[in-house]
Structure 1
């Protein structure tokens, strides 16, 4: 009796899916194909004593007839990129070796694979569900989505050095020149952000529980004034303090490789004050007068907030980062989580680079305000701010 009850449920579900499939057909050939598929499935089910899993009913009409004809605004809402941006990303990855396999099984079109991954990256909540994505795009919900995601990730990760890199000496001078009237010598802005996990990690879950009372992994980034990410550190557990993450990054270990004399990055009070890392005055500071400290902090935060804007833009564009539907099971599994975040960062920079006009100039201007080196950088900046407010 229990088996018969379960079979009746499957029959009812099969009939319902068939009815929905018929609603989406647009030609007599598609209708005949849907009916034939339904009859075969029903025949197999009725002639087997035990229930049979038929997989997810597939219908590609949405992505074939609807997605391709969406206007720019609706296309952007679905895939989080404009149609022309999607085309440019496709051009960058289409010749990658990952799409040229010797396997006899043919892959989905690269354009479709890219759209599936963009939809997953841009979706929050249940929108990331494998079954929902498979149903929407008309592909299998077994290993298809996983394989497609891995291929696109590999292709995009190979472009990391092209789109996510630390500026060389000339580019740093250009950045300093462009922002010279704001905070002279500032190359970038640093901060950490939590990527919330929907589930607790299986191993050592307690170290991933952050002060915000959620399981998360940390993303530390340095961005420039155009909100491009120039350096990232990904994967530290949510309980790790920003200062400790910074002490383990390459900039902290070898600042001379990343910054020239009088160049620095701006951070919040969670970071240690260094000659190359300027932070605001803390509440318990006894340096200078309170009015001077308040003036400095207010002016400083007006520009340091760019890294907050960068994180906001990143998570708004790729909604999956608001709560990652990812369960950490092992070390290799953790790498997949880190790759997901890194791919979002690379795409973030790609989209910004598409919008940046060719503004390269042969002339590199030097900062107009002379900055001292070593330990007086913050005091020097304070004097500059005071002069600006006279």
Structure 2
């Protein structure tokens, strides 16, 4: 085998997988959205939680050495050189519907989340009253509902709400664990980042692993039938994110807490 052959073949496989990106990293169909709503209600019990069909969480991808290009920017709170990956998934089967892989390890999850389609194009990801559950590191908005920080979480009903939400939000942790468990390269990526194109190569590697993850999820559901799955209509309006995503910030979460209190106490 000639020098560089393995690298060449690896790049060709990654390119082939990325050609399938739009097929496997896609919006949910109406049937899938309805199924997720049913799953959320069965999981959490509260009917008002049904629109929260997505879970978002950040994860870090360790690098095997300090990058030669802006190396300090990759240093994370885990005391390692890493990439910040944002994953958005659905809870029933852990299929990834949205992600970002370009931020360095020093980036906060709330900042890295701004690179996702959910933030930049919320009308593309969400329909109607849909929203995503997140941890407390994210900013509360109409489309993202994080658990509470102190001192708000000192209230007993807020704590009960956060505990109920954790049954849903934990699925994003499961998704990250499954992704890294399937593709061990994501536990320590051996790509030397010394130039901009090396950083892009690392992003391509992560994207290829996510495509493979979704292939496994979808083919498991379809019993390895490689026929084209149903595709949603992608011609809907894709409005910019910040103005839309910041509307009614906090009000929706307070409403959900109140609905959960009434659900638990049996009030109408």
| Paired residue secondary structure (1:305) | helix
Q: Which moved more, 1:321-330 or 1:376-385?
A: 376-385
Answering whether residue 111 of structure 2 is matched by residue 244 of structure 1, we say yes
CA contact 1:169–1:260 (8 Å) conserved in 2: no
CA RMSD, Structure 1 to Structure 2 (Å):
2.1
The correspondence of residues 231-380 of structure 1 with structure 2, limited to 5 A, is 231-285=98-152, 290-357=155-222, 374-375=248-249, 376-380=251-255
User: Post-superposition, which runs of at least 4 consecutive aligned residues in structure 1 deviate over 6 A?
Assistant: none
1:205 is matched with 71
Cα offset, 1:317, TM superposition: 0.9
CA contact 1:208–1:216 (8 Å) conserved in 2: yes
Q: Which of 14, 25, 28 is equivalent to 1:167?
A: 28
- Higher relative contact order structure (alpha carbons within 8 Å, sequence separation ≥ 6): 2
Cα offset, 1:177, TM superposition: 3.5
Structure having the larger proportion of residues in helix: 1
CA contact 2:86–2:116 (8 Å) conserved in 1: no
**Deviation by residue 1:114-157 (Cα, 9 ceiling, x = unmatched):** xxxxxxxxxxxxxxxxxxxxxxxxxx262110111011111111
Structure 2 Cα separation of the partners of residues 318 and 141 of structure 1? 26
Structure 2 Cα separation of the partners of residues 208 and 153 of structure 1? 24
2:19 is matched with 158
* Residue segments in structure 2 that go unaligned for 5+ positions in a row: 224-228, 230-246
2:96 is matched with 229
Structure 1 Cα separation of the partners of residues 61 and 119 of structure 2? 23
Structure 1 Cα separation of the partners of residues 38 and 119 of structure 2? 24
* Residue segments in structure 1 that go unaligned for 5+ positions in a row: 1-139, 361-372
Structure 1 Cα separation of the partners of residues 162 and 140 of structure 2? 14
CA contact 2:98–2:116 (8 Å) conserved in 1: no
**Deviation by residue 1:30-67 (Cα, 9 ceiling, x = unmatched):** xxxxxxxxxxxxxxxxxxxxxxxxxxxxxxxxxxxxxx
The correspondence of residues 135-150 of structure 1 with structure 2, limited to 5 A, is 140=1, 142-150=3-11
**Deviation by residue 1:56-107 (Cα, 9 ceiling, x = unmatched):** xxxxxxxxxxxxxxxxxxxxxxxxxxxxxxxxxxxxxxxxxxxxxxxxxxxx
Structure 1 Cα separation of the partners of residues 203 and 19 of structure 2? 15
Structure 2 Cα separation of the partners of residues 250 and 340 of structure 1? 19
**Deviation by residue 1:180-216 (Cα, 9 ceiling, x = unmatched):** 3433111210011000001110011000001111000
1:195 is matched with 61
Q: Which moved more, 1:185-194 or 1:247-256?
A: 247-256
CA contact 2:95–2:214 (8 Å) conserved in 1: yes
Q: Whose radius of gyration is greater, 1 or 2?
A: 1
**Deviation by residue 1:234-289 (Cα, 9 ceiling, x = unmatched):** 12110011111122333223323322232100111000000111011111228xx7
CA contact 1:184–1:381 (8 Å) conserved in 2: no
Q: Which of 238, 260, 265 is equivalent to 1:385?
A: 260
Structure 2 Cα separation of the partners of residues 144 and 298 of structure 1? 51
Structure 2 Cα separation of the partners of residues 315 and 382 of structure 1? 33
Structure 2 Cα separation of the partners of residues 169 and 330 of structure 1? 43
